[in-house]
Structures are given as structure tokens and as C-alpha cells.
């Protein structure tokens, strides 16, 4: 998933947590970091440093969710920040469900083949755009524009729906509900359009015994 989709899911998860009865509300920013950071660290480790065979590794697993949450909570003396990181990282794994090494490093994985060099493609995109050239093949291989568009709709809907965080009564309830349904529909479309085989695998795994 691209950053807009990750941000939308993490925003939703933190809002859902904060809506629980009898919990102290948690800050959003650690979950926002957890939406973006794993794709930077893990892609750099894979594509530039060649430490790992596939670009979801060090921060794409449950250990990183729990350990990161504990470290952040201790460093900042804020339980809420730790919980937000943990929820955000789990949200990131949900967004990337097609393949995530959930129990790495405790369990070995067969890593998928990746034909793109994503980190190099991103850098090439910046170079191409800054130089005013059309995107080269390396740069273009990284961006799936229709999917990014749908993820932006997802993020926009989620942002609109979750406005009560920011301003309490300005936006009518029904428009927020509509926006949320829109965002969830966009997410559903993403899964059906681009992640259906992986989705079916999960359904089979949990239903057919």
C-alpha cells in the first residue's frame, strides 16, 4: 500500500481506539510515523544496502510493533505514544497484508520476488521531476497512479469522517458517516481490484480446515 492508504488506515485505527469507553485518548503522531517510516527503512535496507531480499522486513512484523511501542513509551514516558505506535504498526501490516513477515525474525520466510528497485525508483522520480523530464522506466515502475488515486479518495474520506478530533460540531454527523462509508468502499475496491488473490488465500486459511 502507498502512504495515503496507510495514513487512512492508521487514522481510522487510532480514532477507533480513542472511541473506546474508559480509555485515555492516545496521540495520533506515532501512528502517523508508523504509517510512513517502515517503508523508508525497509526499502532502503533492501534496495540500497542489500541487507534483506525483500522490502518488507525489519519494521514490517509484530515484534517491531510491540518492541517499538515499549521503547517509545519508555523514552517519552508516555504510554499513549507507545500504544499509538503499536496500533499504527499493526495498521501498517493490515495495509500490506498481501505479504508481511508477521513473525520475523523468529520464523523464516520465503521472500517474494520483487522485480522493482523501489527506493531507487523513488530517487529517480525526484531526479526526473526536478530535471523536468518525463518519468524514466525505473521511476515509472514504482508508481501505480490509479491505485494512488483510490488511496487518496480513501484518505480524504477518512480525514473528513474523523474531523471531530479537530473540530467538534462543525461537520454534520451524516456527512461524516457518508465520508467514512466512501473511505471504506475505496479500501474494499483496492482489495478486490489489486489484492484479491491474497485476500482469498487469507479467507481460505481461516475458513477451510
> Nearer Cβ to Zn ion, position 72 or 96?
96
Binding map of Zn ion across residues 38-67, x = CB under 5 A, - = no contact: xx----------------------------
Binding range to Zn ion, per CB under 5 A, among 19-27, 90-98, 111-119, 136-144 = 90-98
For the bound state, the minimum distance from the C-beta of residue 163 to Zn ion, rounded and expressed in Å, comes to: 27
For the bound state, the minimum distance from the C-beta of residue 201 to Zn ion, rounded and expressed in Å, comes to: 18
Q: How far is Cα 48 from Cα 122, in angstroms, rounded to an integer?
A: 12
How many other C-beta atoms lie within 10 A of the C-beta of residue 127? 13
Q: How far is Cα 112 from Cα 110, in angstroms, rounded to an integer?
A: 7
> Nearer Cβ to Zn ion, position 96 or 151?
96
DSSP conformation class of 114: -
Given candidates 9, 80, 83, 96, which one binds Zn ion under the rule CB under 5 A? 96
Distances (CA, A) of 161 to 9, 15, 56, 155, 178: 12, 10, 30, 10, 8
151 binds Zn ion (CB under 5 A): no
> Nearer Cβ to Zn ion, position 6 or 15?
6
Phi, psi of 137 (to 5 degrees): -60, -45
- Residue 135 makes CB contacts below 8 A (sequence gap 6+) with 125, 128, 129, 143
Q: How far is Cα 31 from Cα 7, in angstroms, rounded to an integer?
A: 8
Binding range to Zn ion, per CB under 5 A, among 91-99, 109-117, 140-148, 184-192 = 91-99
> Nearer Cβ to Zn ion, position 39 or 47?
39
Binding range to Zn ion, per CB under 5 A, among 33-41, 79-87, 105-113, 127-135 = 33-41
Which residues lie near Zn ion (CB under 5 A)? 38-39, 96
Amino acid at each position: 500500500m502507498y502512504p495515503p492508504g496507510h495514513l487512512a488506515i492508521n487514522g481510522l485505527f487510532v480514532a477507533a481506539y480513542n472511541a473506546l469507553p474508559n480509555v485515555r485518548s492516545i496521540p495520533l503522531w506515532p501512528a502517523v510515523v508508523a504509517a510512513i517510516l517502515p517503508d523508508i527503512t525497509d526499502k532502503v535496507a533492501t534496495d540500497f544496502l542489500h541487507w534483506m531480499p525483500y522490502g518488507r522486513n525489519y519494521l514490517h512484523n509484530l515484534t517491531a510493533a510491540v518492541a517499538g511501542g515499549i521503547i517509545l513509551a519508555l523514552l517519552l514516558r508516555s504510554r499513549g505514544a507507545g500504544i499509538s505506535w503499536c496500533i499504527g504498526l499493526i495498521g501498517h501490516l493490515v495495509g500490506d497484508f498481501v505479504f508481511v513477515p508477521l513473525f520475523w525474525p523468529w520464523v523464516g520466510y520465503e521472500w517474494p520476488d520483487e522485480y522493482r528497485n523501489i527506493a531507487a525508483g523513488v530517487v529517480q522520480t525526484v531526479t526526473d521531476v526536478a530535471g523536468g523530464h518525463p518519468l524514466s522506466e525505473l521511476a515509472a515502475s514504482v508508481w501505480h497512479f490509479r491505485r494512488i488515486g483510490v488511496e487518496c479518495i480513501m484518505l480524504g474520506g477518512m480525514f473528513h469522517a474523523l474531523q471531530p478530533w479537530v473540530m467538534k460540531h462543525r461537520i454534520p454527523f451524516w456527512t461524516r458517516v457518508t465520508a467514512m462509508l466512501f473511505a471504506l468502499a475505496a479500501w474494499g475496491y483496492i482489495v478486490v481490484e489489486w489484492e484479491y488473490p491474497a485476500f482469498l488465500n487469507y479467507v481460505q486459511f481461516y475458513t477451510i480446515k
